[in-house]
A and B are shown apart, each in its own frame.
Chain A
Amino acid sequence: MREVAVVSFAQARSVRRDILRNEVEILMPVVAEVVAASGLSRDRIGFTVSGSCDYLAGVPFSFVMALDGVGAWPPIEESHVEMDGAWAMAEAFTRLQHGDIDSALVFCFGKSSVGDLPDVLTLQLDPYLVAPLWPDSISVAALQARAMIDAGLTSEREMAEVAVRSRRDARQNPYAQLSGDFSVDALLAEPCISSPLRRHDCPPISDGAAAIVLAAGDVARGLCEKNGRTPAWIRGLDHRVDAQNLGVRDLTKCPSARIAAEKAGVSAAPIDVAEIYAPFTHQEILLRRELGLDSKTRINPSGGALAANPMMVAGLIRIGEAASRVHKGEARRALAHATAGPCLQQNLVCILEGE
């Protein structure tokens, strides 16, 4: 495998509803920032790939207008995944293995505020048998939380503690949407939205965008040296999917995350920082176990998806946040995780290391 590193990362501040800007307008400053921060000129970027999903905005081909905004003249080598930007990064990583290009731009955007997100996500489900019953994403996640509590794997209190820690950590994150000091008891006094989930167990609905630049070998070294940061080398990258049908899965487990963690080499050395894309509190608890993380690993110092959850973006933000810790020398070895689909159906794990 050719050595590939994240050399720069940029994100938009996540907000509940950006009424002034469309998706492209949210995205453009982020792309400009990430390219400038990489030290590369636009014409030296060998491959561009984006992640987004039309269903959020309710328009087809939303990536087409984004590409126009970002600029593609003279014509560029370019692709798009209808997925979180973390998978766009996986495609870029593959492309960089060929040896004929040295750098790639990955960007993603999502404006969840345009529709009613929990209902929009219903449309991910089996269109003939499940979606017509219209279970929303919070109710589906609640099934998993209930299964975990019933199995003795977590409690409503432990879940609230995750929310309190996430919001507290998010105070240090200028891009987060939801932050502050809360008490566990006060949160537990709130009513359930969909039992056992309370408002604090669920992610905020966010509009946002993010981008990273990848570079290979000496190009990455040169760029990072010039910018005074440590390259965040991708030492392991794997993603897996589980069946969607909730009836055939043991919702207290997440085999796809477990395999991805194994294949990415999580257990080879201690992990200093892990950025986990867990939209619901119980999912962080489940994922810590499936990813094989112990109490020595610092979890979600950014506040995670409980502090900002722009759909199709939050996964790439995890990679960017983890890479930034390595860039600054705050972590020697970091884990980034992304998820997609109901109840953690699809999972990606990326291991980033300094020199």
Chain B
Amino acid sequence: MGRWCAVVGVGQTRHAAKRGDLSMVGLVREAAIAALEDCDLSWKDVEALVIGKAPDMFEGVMQPELYLADALGAVGKPMIRVHTAGSVGGSTALVAAHLVQSGQFSRVLTVAFEKQSESEATWAITPKIPFQPPLVAGAGGYFAPIIRSYIQRSKAPADVGLRVAVKDRKNAMRNPFAHLHLPDIDIETVANSPLLWDPLHYLECCPSSDGACAMVLADEQAARKTPKKPAWVLGTAMKSEPTMFPGRNQINPRAGRECAASVYRQAGVRNPREDIDCAEIYVPFSWYEPMWMENLGFAPENEGWKMTLEGATAFDGDMPINPSGGVLSSNPIGASGMLRFAEAAMQVSGRAGEHQVSGAKLALGHAYGGGSQFFSMWMVGSEKR
């Protein structure tokens, strides 16, 4: 794994449907400055930058990192731009961690963002390509059939998705940065919201957000000099599989299972449900919580929904999932993965505030993208292992 790397500073924006008060530059700076202030460092301490976001068409700027370079203090420094679909926020953090672990740099700033209000994501995801049928169905249209097939296969009751939606939105009430604060949400309101893509109701889907997330990563020596407790990176992995391949299991993708197995092995996790204290996982549509419970090895196949129904994934459950409110409460797509990684780091360094899971020492950050074929994950801990 190379040298030790730790998360020493975390910053994120207040997420909203439209941050009309900020340009793209303002948005990324809000997160980056917060991350630097979190660890008492300044722009000059940053040796290299890794920037991530989802497709350029979301804002209509080609390679926006070039335009953002000076706003992020990158002038005269190395800067790299990662794009791995929805998993990009996670992959971006991993590339940044590798720059530290490889011994190339001591302090790296990583930033991921999306200003979705400046374009229309469903349009940007589904343009018409010659000789392909235009399927202007958005991401929900792609994932709904997979969810239906999961329900049929696992015999999960119909209200599992509704419960995930309520749970994550209730968690978001503890998170001041979350886009959606819906204090009165309950099963009824979710069930009575419009059906968008059977079985997904409007309130079972992620919002479209403006937002950014930033982290300062440091090697061991630099981490010891920062004021707060570092979150140590204990395992990193990215795994990909093809979109179009009849042998794929789209409900329980092999790339996800192997990605999880890799980070568990690196972090010395034998029994994920017992060893891991909490997890921030990428759940853009409610039913992906039970599905990923199985993919991540927290539950046997076809039984992930039981964890949701039994309350195991609730804030006070034995395996709290998305205490921050998750993607269902804030979804600046390119940043959503990094938010999962950063929230996991906040948990193990004891700075998650109102949504702190008590005694969290080992946490999983998870992101996925494309047709659920790109995965990036990291394990972070309060101690080195």
Report which A residues bind B (CB closer than 8 A). Answer: 1, 48, 53-55, 58-61, 63-65, 67-68, 71-83, 87, 90-91, 94-95, 97-100, 120-121, 123-128, 131, 238-245, 248, 255-256, 259, 340-342, 345-346
Residues of A within 8 A of B254 (CB): 74-75
B43 near A: Cβ within 8 Å?
A: no
B98 near A95 with CB under 8 A, answer: yes
B76 near A: Cβ within 8 Å?
A: yes
B77 near A341 with CB under 8 A, answer: no
> Once A and B bind, how many residue pairs between them come within 8 Å at the CB atom?
184
Residues of A within 8 A of B373 (CB): 64, 72
Name the contact of A81 in the complex, choosing from B78, B82, B244, B247 (C-beta under 8 A).
B82
Q: How far is the CA of A123 from the CA of B55 in the complex (A)?
A: 14
Residues of B within 8 A of A259 (CB): 76
A240 near B78 with CB under 8 A, answer: yes
A98 near B101 with CB under 8 A, answer: yes
Contacts known (A1-B103, A55-B56, A244-B67); A79 close to B82, Cβ less than 8 A? yes
Residues of A within 8 A of B374 (CB): 78
Contacts known (A77-B237, A242-B69); A59 close to B102, Cβ less than 8 A? no
Q: How far is the CA of A53 from the CA of B75 in the complex (A)?
A: 22
Q: Would you give the 0/1 interface string for B6-31, flagging 1 where the beta carbon is closer than 8 Å to chain A?
A: 00000000000000000110000000
Residue among B61, B78, B101, B370 facing the most chain A CB atoms (10 A cut-off): B78
Q: How far is the CA of A345 from the CA of B241 in the complex (A)?
A: 34
Residues of A within 8 A of B78 (CB): 238-241
B85 near A124 with CB under 8 A, answer: no
Q: How far is the CA of A155 from the CA of B198 in the complex (A)?
A: 67
Instruction: Tell me the nearest residue of chain A to B262, going by C-beta.
Output: A77
Residues of B within 8 A of A95 (CB): 98, 102
10 new A-B contacts, CB < 8 A, other than A76-B240, A121-B62, are A54-B56, A64-B243, A68-B244, A73-B245, A83-B80, A91-B95, A98-B1, A123-B56, A127-B64, A244-B70
B80 near A73 with CB under 8 A, answer: no
Contacts known (A72-B241, A242-B75, A255-B76); A82 close to B70, Cβ less than 8 A? no
Ordered nearest first, which 10 A-B pairs have the shortest CB separation? Answer: A97-B102, A60-B55, A75-B255, A243-B70, A78-B240, A55-B62, A82-B83, A123-B62, A341-B66, A75-B241
Residues of A within 8 A of B74 (CB): 241
Residue among A127, A242, A345 facing the most chain B CB atoms (10 A cut-off): A127
Name the contact of B63 in the complex, choosing from A59, A67, A126, A340 (C-beta under 8 A).
A340
- Give residues 82-106 of B contacting A (CB, 8 Å): 82-85, 91, 94-95, 98-99, 101-104
A81 near B80 with CB under 8 A, answer: yes
B158 near A: Cβ within 8 Å?
A: no
B34 near A: Cβ within 8 Å?
A: no
Which stretch (B124-132, B181-189, B347-355) binds chain A? B124-132
Q: How far is the CA of A123 from the CA of B98 in the complex (A)?
A: 30
A241 near B69 with CB under 8 A, answer: yes
Residues of A within 8 A of B95 (CB): 79, 91, 94
Residues of A within 8 A of B242 (CB): 67-68, 71-73
A240 near B77 with CB under 8 A, answer: yes
Closest Cβ–Cβ distance, residue B5 to chain A (whole Å)? 11
Instruction: Tell me the nearest residue of chain A to B61, going by C-beta.
Output: A127
B2 near A: Cβ within 8 Å?
A: yes
A80 near B241 with CB under 8 A, answer: no
Q: 18 pairs across A/B with beta carbons < 8 Å?
A: A48-B240, A55-B62, A60-B57, A61-B125, A64-B243, A64-B371, A68-B245, A72-B241, A78-B238, A81-B82, A82-B83, A90-B80, A91-B98, A97-B2, A120-B62, A123-B62, A243-B75, A340-B63
A94 near B102 with CB under 8 A, answer: yes
Q: How far is the CA of A77 from the CA of B237 in the complex (A)?
A: 7
Residues of B within 8 A of A342 (CB): 66
B301 near A: Cβ within 8 Å?
A: no
Residues of A within 8 A of B62 (CB): 53, 55, 120-121, 123-124
Name the contact of A341 in the complex, choosing from B63, B127, B240 (C-beta under 8 A).
B63
Residues of B within 8 A of A131 (CB): 61
Instruction: Tell me the nearest residue of chain B to A121, going by C-beta.
Output: B62
Q: How far is the CA of A48 from the CA of B374 in the complex (A)?
A: 13
B360 near A: Cβ within 8 Å?
A: no
Closest Cβ–Cβ distance, residue B268 to chain A (whole Å)? 16
Residue among A55, A79, A255 facing the most chain B CB atoms (10 A cut-off): A79
B220 near A: Cβ within 8 Å?
A: no
Residues of B within 8 A of A82 (CB): 56, 63, 81-83
Closest Cβ–Cβ distance, residue B303 to chain A (whole Å)? 23
Name the contact of A60 in the complex, choosing from B2, B101, B127 (C-beta under 8 A).
B127
B24 near A127 with CB under 8 A, answer: yes
Closest Cβ–Cβ distance, residue A278 to chain B (whole Å)? 18
A245 near B237 with CB under 8 A, answer: no
Q: How far is the CA of A48 from the CA of B240 in the complex (A)?
A: 10
